[in-house]
Amino acid sequence: MSIDPDLTEMQKCRRIPRGEKRREEIAAVAERVFLELGYTETTMQIVASRAGASKETLYRHFGSKEGLFSEVVRARSARVYGGPEGVLQLSGEPRDVLRRLGFNLLRKLLNDDPICLFRIVVAEAPRTPELGRIFFEQGPAQILQQLTLYLESAARQRLLNCPDAALAAKLFLGSVVANRHIMLLVAPDWEPITEETIHLHVEEAVALFLARYAPAESA
Protein backbone atom coordinates (compact mmCIF):
# COMPACT_ATOMS: atom_id res chain seq x y z
CA MET A 1 0.00 0.00 0.00
CA SER A 2 1.44 3.40 -0.95
CA ILE A 3 1.90 6.12 1.64
CA ASP A 4 0.21 9.44 1.03
CA PRO A 5 3.09 11.99 0.92
CA ASP A 6 0.82 14.74 2.23
CA LEU A 7 -0.08 12.60 5.25
CA THR A 8 3.59 11.87 5.91
CA GLU A 9 4.39 15.57 5.83
CA MET A 10 1.52 16.31 8.23
CA GLN A 11 2.86 13.66 10.63
CA LYS A 12 6.30 15.31 10.55
CA CYS A 13 4.77 18.69 11.33
CA ARG A 14 2.98 17.21 14.33
CA ARG A 15 6.16 15.59 15.64
CA ILE A 16 8.35 18.70 15.45
CA PRO A 17 6.53 20.79 18.08
CA ARG A 18 6.55 17.89 20.54
CA GLY A 19 10.30 17.45 20.00
CA GLU A 20 10.94 21.15 20.51
CA LYS A 21 8.82 21.18 23.65
CA ARG A 22 10.72 18.20 25.05
CA ARG A 23 14.02 19.90 24.25
CA GLU A 24 12.91 22.99 26.17
CA GLU A 25 11.79 20.87 29.12
CA ILE A 26 15.14 19.08 29.31
CA ALA A 27 17.04 22.38 29.02
CA ALA A 28 14.99 23.82 31.91
CA VAL A 29 15.88 20.81 34.07
CA ALA A 30 19.53 21.10 33.04
CA GLU A 31 19.63 24.75 34.05
CA ARG A 32 18.49 23.87 37.57
CA VAL A 33 21.10 21.09 37.77
CA PHE A 34 23.93 23.35 36.54
CA LEU A 35 22.97 26.02 39.09
CA GLU A 36 22.79 23.45 41.87
CA LEU A 37 25.88 21.36 41.15
CA GLY A 38 28.07 23.54 38.93
CA TYR A 39 29.35 22.60 35.50
CA THR A 40 31.98 20.02 36.49
CA GLU A 41 29.76 17.99 38.79
CA THR A 42 26.80 18.00 36.40
CA THR A 43 26.62 14.90 34.19
CA MET A 44 24.37 13.97 31.32
CA GLN A 45 23.17 11.02 33.40
CA ILE A 46 22.05 13.26 36.27
CA VAL A 47 20.19 15.58 33.91
CA ALA A 48 18.62 12.64 32.10
CA SER A 49 17.44 11.07 35.37
CA ARG A 50 15.91 14.29 36.67
CA ALA A 51 14.28 15.01 33.32
CA GLY A 52 12.86 11.50 33.05
CA ALA A 53 14.76 10.94 29.82
CA SER A 54 17.57 8.71 28.59
CA LYS A 55 21.15 9.84 27.98
CA GLU A 56 20.61 8.93 24.34
CA THR A 57 17.78 11.47 24.18
CA LEU A 58 20.03 14.17 25.62
CA TYR A 59 22.82 13.42 23.19
CA ARG A 60 20.37 13.38 20.30
CA HIS A 61 19.05 16.83 21.21
CA PHE A 62 22.25 18.54 22.37
CA GLY A 63 25.24 16.48 21.20
CA SER A 64 27.34 16.94 24.34
CA LYS A 65 27.39 18.51 27.81
CA GLU A 66 28.89 21.63 26.23
CA GLY A 67 26.00 21.71 23.77
CA LEU A 68 23.51 21.34 26.61
CA PHE A 69 25.16 24.17 28.55
CA SER A 70 25.10 26.32 25.40
CA GLU A 71 21.36 25.73 25.11
CA VAL A 72 20.85 26.70 28.77
CA VAL A 73 22.74 29.94 28.22
CA ARG A 74 20.90 30.64 24.96
CA ALA A 75 17.52 30.11 26.61
CA ARG A 76 18.39 32.34 29.55
CA SER A 77 19.74 35.01 27.19
CA ALA A 78 16.47 34.89 25.26
CA ARG A 79 14.56 35.49 28.49
CA VAL A 80 16.82 38.38 29.49
CA TYR A 81 17.30 40.06 26.12
CA GLY A 82 14.29 39.02 24.06
CA GLY A 83 10.53 39.27 24.11
CA PRO A 84 8.31 42.28 24.83
CA GLU A 85 9.94 42.82 28.24
CA GLY A 86 13.48 42.13 27.07
CA VAL A 87 16.26 44.68 27.28
CA LEU A 88 16.90 44.77 23.53
CA GLN A 89 13.82 46.76 22.58
CA LEU A 90 15.94 49.56 21.11
CA SER A 91 13.82 52.14 19.34
CA GLY A 92 13.07 55.77 20.05
CA GLU A 93 14.96 58.82 21.28
CA PRO A 94 18.43 58.10 22.72
CA ARG A 95 17.66 59.30 26.25
CA ASP A 96 14.55 57.12 26.48
CA VAL A 97 16.24 54.12 24.87
CA LEU A 98 19.30 54.29 27.13
CA ARG A 99 17.21 54.76 30.27
CA ARG A 100 15.01 51.78 29.41
CA LEU A 101 17.94 49.63 28.37
CA GLY A 102 20.01 50.46 31.44
CA PHE A 103 17.20 49.94 33.91
CA ASN A 104 15.94 46.67 32.40
CA LEU A 105 19.44 45.27 31.97
CA LEU A 106 20.57 46.10 35.49
CA ARG A 107 17.36 44.84 37.08
CA LYS A 108 17.50 41.53 35.19
CA LEU A 109 21.21 40.93 35.69
CA LEU A 110 20.98 41.55 39.43
CA ASN A 111 18.63 38.61 39.78
CA ASP A 112 20.20 35.66 41.65
CA ASP A 113 20.09 33.16 38.76
CA PRO A 114 22.18 35.15 36.24
CA ILE A 115 24.76 35.82 38.95
CA CYS A 116 24.92 32.10 39.79
CA LEU A 117 25.32 31.21 36.11
CA PHE A 118 28.03 33.84 35.74
CA ARG A 119 29.90 32.36 38.71
CA ILE A 120 29.80 28.92 37.07
CA VAL A 121 31.27 30.28 33.84
CA VAL A 122 34.02 32.23 35.63
CA ALA A 123 34.98 29.19 37.70
CA GLU A 124 35.05 26.79 34.73
CA ALA A 125 36.45 29.02 31.98
CA PRO A 126 40.15 28.43 32.84
CA ARG A 127 39.60 24.67 32.47
CA THR A 128 37.04 24.87 29.67
CA PRO A 129 37.56 28.11 27.70
CA GLU A 130 34.77 27.11 25.33
CA LEU A 131 32.23 27.79 28.09
CA GLY A 132 33.37 31.39 28.35
CA ARG A 133 33.05 31.84 24.60
CA ILE A 134 29.56 30.30 24.60
CA PHE A 135 28.44 32.54 27.46
CA PHE A 136 29.84 35.70 25.88
CA GLU A 137 28.47 34.99 22.42
CA GLN A 138 24.99 34.08 23.67
CA GLY A 139 24.68 37.01 26.08
CA PRO A 140 26.94 40.08 26.37
CA ALA A 141 28.02 40.04 22.72
CA GLN A 142 24.40 40.17 21.58
CA ILE A 143 23.51 43.25 23.58
CA LEU A 144 26.78 44.95 22.63
CA GLN A 145 26.09 44.34 18.94
CA GLN A 146 22.49 45.54 19.11
CA LEU A 147 23.36 48.68 21.06
CA THR A 148 26.16 49.44 18.61
CA LEU A 149 23.72 49.18 15.70
CA TYR A 150 21.26 51.48 17.47
CA LEU A 151 23.96 54.08 18.20
CA GLU A 152 25.14 53.97 14.58
CA SER A 153 21.57 54.59 13.44
CA ALA A 154 21.10 57.43 15.94
CA ALA A 155 24.34 59.03 14.73
CA ARG A 156 23.17 58.86 11.11
CA GLN A 157 19.96 60.62 12.16
CA ARG A 158 22.06 63.26 13.99
CA LEU A 159 20.45 62.29 17.29
CA LEU A 160 23.94 61.59 18.64
CA ASN A 161 27.48 62.63 17.79
CA CYS A 162 28.93 59.16 18.05
CA PRO A 163 31.74 58.44 15.55
CA ASP A 164 32.81 55.17 17.24
CA ALA A 165 29.55 53.46 18.11
CA ALA A 166 31.18 50.21 19.26
CA LEU A 167 33.37 52.02 21.79
CA ALA A 168 30.44 54.14 22.96
CA ALA A 169 28.32 51.02 23.47
CA LYS A 170 31.05 49.39 25.58
CA LEU A 171 31.41 52.52 27.70
CA PHE A 172 27.69 52.81 28.35
CA LEU A 173 27.21 49.16 29.23
CA GLY A 174 30.26 49.26 31.48
CA SER A 175 29.01 52.32 33.33
CA VAL A 176 25.65 50.63 33.93
CA VAL A 177 26.70 47.09 34.83
CA ALA A 178 30.33 46.80 35.89
CA ASN A 179 30.36 48.17 39.45
CA ARG A 180 27.07 46.61 40.52
CA HIS A 181 27.94 43.27 38.96
CA ILE A 182 31.29 43.10 40.75
CA MET A 183 29.68 43.97 44.07
CA LEU A 184 27.14 41.17 43.73
CA LEU A 185 29.80 38.67 42.73
CA VAL A 186 32.24 39.31 45.56
CA ALA A 187 30.36 41.31 48.23
CA PRO A 188 26.61 40.83 47.76
CA ASP A 189 25.76 42.32 51.17
CA TRP A 190 27.96 45.37 50.80
CA GLU A 191 25.17 47.73 49.80
CA PRO A 192 21.42 47.17 49.38
CA ILE A 193 20.17 47.58 45.83
CA THR A 194 16.65 48.91 45.45
CA GLU A 195 14.54 50.10 42.52
CA GLU A 196 15.41 53.66 43.60
CA THR A 197 19.17 53.05 43.57
CA ILE A 198 18.92 51.31 40.18
CA HIS A 199 17.05 54.28 38.70
CA LEU A 200 19.55 56.75 40.16
CA HIS A 201 22.51 54.73 38.88
CA VAL A 202 21.06 54.49 35.37
CA GLU A 203 20.07 58.18 35.23
CA GLU A 204 23.65 59.18 36.05
CA ALA A 205 25.07 56.76 33.46
CA VAL A 206 22.74 58.17 30.79
CA ALA A 207 23.61 61.74 31.75
CA LEU A 208 27.34 61.00 31.47
CA PHE A 209 26.85 59.31 28.09
CA LEU A 210 24.81 62.17 26.63
CA ALA A 211 27.24 64.77 27.96
CA ARG A 212 29.88 63.14 25.75
CA TYR A 213 27.82 62.05 22.75
CA ALA A 214 25.03 64.60 22.44
CA PRO A 215 24.84 66.06 18.91
CA ALA A 216 26.57 69.35 18.27
CA GLU A 217 24.17 72.28 18.36
CA SER A 218 23.28 73.72 15.00
CA ALA A 219 25.02 76.92 14.17
> Which of the 8 DSSP states describes residue 187?
-
**What confidence tier does 96 reach under pLDDT thresholds 50, 70, 90?**
very high
Q: What is the pLDDT of residues 66-86, one digit of tens each?
A: 889 888 887 777 666 554 445
Residues of the chain with CATH 1.10.357.10: 94-213
**What confidence tier does 122 reach under pLDDT thresholds 50, 70, 90?**
confident
CATH fold, domain 94-213, is: Tetracycline Repressor; domain 2 (1.10.357)
Global pTM exceeds 0.75: no
134, with CB counted inside 10 A (0-12, 13-18, 19+), is buried
Query: Which residues are CB-neighbours of 214 under 8 A, at least 6 positions away?
Result: 160, 161
> What pLDDT is attached to residue 54?
92
Task: Please tell me the total number of residues recorded for the chain in this structure.
Answer: 219
pLDDT at 130 over 60: yes
pLDDT at 185 over 60: yes
- Mean pLDDT of the residues in the chain: 80
* SS3 (DSSP) at 126: coil
Q: In the chain, count H helices and then E strands.
A: 10, 0
* Mean pLDDT for the stretch of residues 133-138: 78
> What pLDDT is attached to residue 16?
37
Nearest one of 208, 216, 17 to 98, comparing CA atoms: 208
The answer to whether the beta carbons of residues 138 and 73 sit under 8 Å apart is: yes
More confident residue, 8 or 51: 51
DSSP characters over 78-112: HHHHSSTTSTT---S-HHHHHHHHHHHHHHHHTSH
> Which of the 8 DSSP states describes residue 15?
H
Q: What is the pLDDT of residues 186-198, one digit of tens each?
A: 666 777 778 888 8
Nearest one of 80, 77, 75 to 27, comparing CA atoms: 75
- Amino acid at residue number 85: E
- Amino acid at residue number 180: R
CATH fold, domain 12-63, is: Arc Repressor Mutant, subunit A (1.10.10)
* Spacing of C-alpha 41 from chain mean position: 24
**What confidence tier does 53 reach under pLDDT thresholds 50, 70, 90?**
very high
* Mean pLDDT for the stretch of residues 212-217: 86
The segment with the largest mean pLDDT, out of 4-13, 83-92, 157-166, 194-203, is: 157-166
More confident residue, 51 or 2: 51
pLDDT at 150 over 70: yes
- Amino acid at residue number 196: E
Q: What is the pLDDT of residues 14-47, one digit of tens each?
A: 343 567 888 889 999 998 998 888 888 899 999 9
Residues of the chain with CATH 1.10.10.60: 12-63
- Amino acid at residue number 132: G
The answer to whether the beta carbons of residues 81 and 139 sit under 8 Å apart is: yes
